[in-house]
Amino acid sequence: MSLKVEAAYKCAMPVTFRDKLQSNKFIITTEVTPPKGVDTSSFLKDAEQLQRYVDAFNVTDNQRAVMRMSSIAVGKMLKDAGHETIVQFTCRDRNRLALQSDLLGAWALGIRNICVMTGDHTTKGDHPATKPVYDLDSVQLLNTVKKLNEGYDLSGNRLEQSPDFVVGAVSNTDPLQPMQHIKLRKKASIGVDFIQTQAVYDIEEFACFLEKVSDIDVPIIAGIIPLKSAKMARYMNRNIPGIRVPEEFITRMENAEEPASEGLEIAAQIIRELKKMCIGIHLMPVGQHTHTKELLKMSGLTEGRTHNE
């Protein structure tokens, strides 16, 4: 193979999420919520429209304890459609046997990137009588993934070939919660490839958080949830630990003629600041991706991006 042909072949090859984490490229990931049913057309359409602009689609796992289609199945469908995916695994719904089994099954189906988290309690979801499992916590699950990657199950039994997952974990960004920082350091010490944060609204607090965890050598991807109303902002301040929407933004939402558009302006403002501070952003829209492409354009994140970049 000539050097020119080889170079062209390499350029044509898809760039993996692992490659992008190891580059200096600003990363954009976004959430895909599996359907409440078996109609897969909506999330596949969203992914197709955003493929040029997003580096990976993060598939939620019964988010907010609401029953939906399997995140592994959705991740597989997105992969088959040519998208890079990150599949979430929560500790809430499976014991250690099921978690290990599903992890190995996901690898066999071509899932290469995962994100581990505890998961909201079942009382917050649409099946509140469900018994939560929580056999492992998120730190223990990360340790389980590490063992699988090393070729052993959690009991020390050797595997017949092992996976090699790119592994992510989550964190809130409240600089006044030292116990969360200790937990984040535990996750980093086990070995994670990226950290995905709770939604960021206060840039000064986020900067303080970054300073407090500056000893952790793990790429940090900052969460973004565009606001839709002042009511939504107040609800998050009251009910979601680790999120604080500044009063300045709530006032802007209250005074706006079109609150949803103002929410996009606020999100774009935050993203422009975050570009100077961390390796990437993770977009978590409420509902479908109706305005995601518009937000990326407003933030200056669409120019020059191609799917295999």
Give the lowest-confidence range in 97-101, 147-151, 303-307. 303-307
Is the pLDDT at 71 greater than 70? The verdict is yes
- Predicted local confidence at residue 286, as pLDDT: 81
Give pLDDT, residue 8.
Answer: 45
Which residue is it, tokens 């959690």? 154
Question: In 10 A of CB 45, how many CB atoms?
Answer: 12
For residue 239, CA distances in Å to 24, 119, 232, 233, 245 come to 36, 15, 10, 10, 12
Q: Residue 66 pLDDT > 90, yes or no?
A: yes
Q: Are 259 and 231 in contact (CB under 8 A)?
A: no
Cβ-Cβ contacts under 8 Å for 78 (sequence gap 6 or more): 32, 43, 44, 47, 57, 59, 85
Please tell me the distance from the alpha carbon of residue 199 to that of residue 196, in angstroms, as a whole number.
9
Pairwise pLDDT comparison (262 vs 307), residue with the higher score: 262
10-24, 242-256, 281-295: least confidently modelled range: 10-24
Average pLDDT score over residue span 174-201: 94
Average pLDDT, the chain: 92
| Residue 84 pLDDT greater than 60, yes or no | yes
**Nearest CA-CA partner of 74 in 62, 87, 64, 84:** 87
pLDDT in the model for residue 304? 61
Residues across the chain: 309
pLDDT digits (tens, 9 = 90+) for 20-62: 999 989 999 999 999 999 999 999 999 999 999 999 999 999 9
Buried residues in 251-270 as b, exposed as e (16+ CB within 10 A) = ebbeebeebbebbbbbbbeb
What is the average per-residue pLDDT within 147-155? 98
The mean pLDDT value for 120-149 works out to 97
pLDDT at 12 over 50: no
Q: Is the pLDDT of residue 203 over 60?
A: yes
Q: Is the pTM of this model over 0.85?
A: yes
Q: pLDDT tens digits for 222-278?
A: 999 999 999 999 999 998 888 899 999 999 999 999 999 999 999 999 999 999 999
As a whole number of Å, the end-to-end CA separation of the chain is 23
Side chain identity at residue 60, one-letter code: T
As a whole number of angstroms, the distance between CA 111 and CA 76 comes to: 7
Q: Is pLDDT above 60 for 11?
A: no
User: With 70 as the cut, is the pLDDT of residue 158 above it?
Assistant: yes
pLDDT tens-digit series, residues 86-121: 999 999 999 999 999 999 999 999 999 999 999 999
Q: According to the model, what pLDDT value does residue 305 have? A: 63
For every residue of the chain, which 3-state class applies, written as one string?
CCHHHHHHHHHHCCCCHHHHHCCCCCEEEEEECCCCCCCCHHHHHHHHHHCCCCCEEEECCCHHHCCCCCHHHHHHHHHHCCCCEEEEEECCCCCHHHHHHHHHHHHHCCCCEEEEECCCCHHHCCCCCCCCCCCCCHHHHHHHHHHHHHCECCCCCECCCCCCCEEEEEECCCCCCHHHHHHHHHHHHHCCCEEEEEECCCHHHHHHHHHHCCCCCCCEEEEECCCCCHHHHHHHHHHCCCCCCCHHHHHHHHHCCCHHHHHHHHHHHHHHHHCCCCCEEEECCCCCCCCHHHHHHHCCCCCCCCCCC
Distance CA 239, CA 235 (A): 6
User: Phi and psi of 104, rounded to 5°?
Assistant: -65, -40
Residue 287: per-residue pLDDT: 76
Q: What is the pLDDT of residue 306?
A: 56
> What is the percentage of the chain residues whose pLDDT exceeds 70?
94
Distance CA 97, CA 106 (A): 14
